[in-house]
């Protein structure tokens, strides 16, 4: 489970409301909320972003726990996070900064609880002593094999996160040209 440092919910709310206004006033066209790892903070960010009237994408970072339940990094089930946003306007949900091999099970949970557009941008890296290591990343060809599975499941936006490089995206572009 994630154990990083967080601002208080009230401090997060105040700062986020200020930041989204600045970004909207500067011409932002879309808010992409990334690495949503707990429900309370995700709702604060989502509500602040929605207050601008701009479209919002929500990106969940998740993995299956020891019992096989797909959870956010803090341990809350993804299904609970999806229930929490059920009555809020979200244009697209991403599964992001999630291991390639976990994407399919995450998509299964997502698609059982969400009927809107879906994106995926997986990562391929290891954490050693709290540092990212990119020695054994997935090959561009294997990433495209996985991406084709996601496309076949109805995923409409595919990209890459940590360890996914321009060479992977070049292969994805060839895949989507077909």
Q: What is the 3-state secondary structure (H, E, C) of 120-162?
A: EEEECCEEECCEEECCCCCCHHHHHHHHHHHHHCCCCEEEECC
User: Is there a domain that residue 167 lies in?
Assistant: yes
For residues 94 and 58, the answer to whether their CB atoms sit within 8 Å is yes
User: Is there a domain that residue 133 lies in?
Assistant: yes
User: Is there a domain that residue 29 lies in?
Assistant: yes
Q: Is the pTM of this model over 0.85?
A: yes
User: Is there a domain that residue 4 lies in?
Assistant: no
User: Is there a domain that residue 2 lies in?
Assistant: no
Residue located via tokens 């707990």? 38
User: Is there a domain that residue 67 lies in?
Assistant: yes
For residues 89 and 50, the answer to whether their CB atoms sit within 8 Å is yes
- Side by side, the strands of the sheet bearing 92-99 are 31-36, 56-60, 92-99, 118-123, 157-160
- Domain region containing 118: 9-177
Q: The tokens of 79 are what? A: 């299904």
Rounded-to-integer distance, Cα 30 and Cα 61, Å: 19
The tally of domains found in the chain comes to: 1
pLDDT digit string (tens) for the chain, length 178 residues:
456 678 999 999 999 999 999 999 999 999 999 999 999 999 999 999 999 999 999 999 999 999 999 999 999 999 999 999 999 999 999 999 999 999 999 999 999 999 999 999 999 987 777 777 777 899 999 999 999 999 999 999 999 998 899 999 999 999 888 7
User: Is there a domain that residue 1 lies in?
Assistant: no
Long-range contacts of 111-115 (CB under 8 A, 24+ apart): 111/153, 111/154, 112/79, 113/78, 113/79, 113/82, 113/83, 114/82
- Residue 6's pLDDT is 83
CATH of the domain at 96: 3.20.20.330
User: Is there a domain that residue 82 lies in?
Assistant: yes
For residues 168 and 175, the answer to whether their CB atoms sit within 8 Å is no
């Amino acid at each position: 489970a994630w154990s990083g440092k967080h601002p208080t919910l009230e401090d997060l709310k105040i700062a986020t409301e200020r930041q989204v206004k600045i970004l909207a006033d500067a011409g932002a066209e879309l808010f992409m909320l990334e690495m949503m790892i707990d429900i309370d903070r995700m709702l604060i960010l989502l509500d602040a972003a929605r207050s601008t009237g701009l479209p919002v994408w929500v990106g969940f970072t998740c993995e299956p726990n020891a019992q096989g339940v797909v959870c956010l990094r803090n341990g809350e089930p993804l299904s609970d996070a999806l229930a929490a946003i059920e009555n809020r306007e979200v244009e697209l949900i991403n599964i992001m900064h999630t291991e390639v091999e976990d994407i399919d099970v995450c998509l299964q949970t997502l698609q059982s609880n969400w009927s809107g557009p879906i994106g995926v941008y997986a990562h391929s890296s290891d954490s050693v002593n709290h540092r990212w290591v990119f020695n054994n990343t997935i090959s561009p060809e294997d990433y495209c094999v996985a991406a084709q599975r996601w496309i076949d499941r109805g995923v409409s936006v595919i990209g890459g996160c940590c360890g996914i490089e321009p060479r992977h995206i070049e292969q994805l572009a060839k895949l989507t040209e077909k």
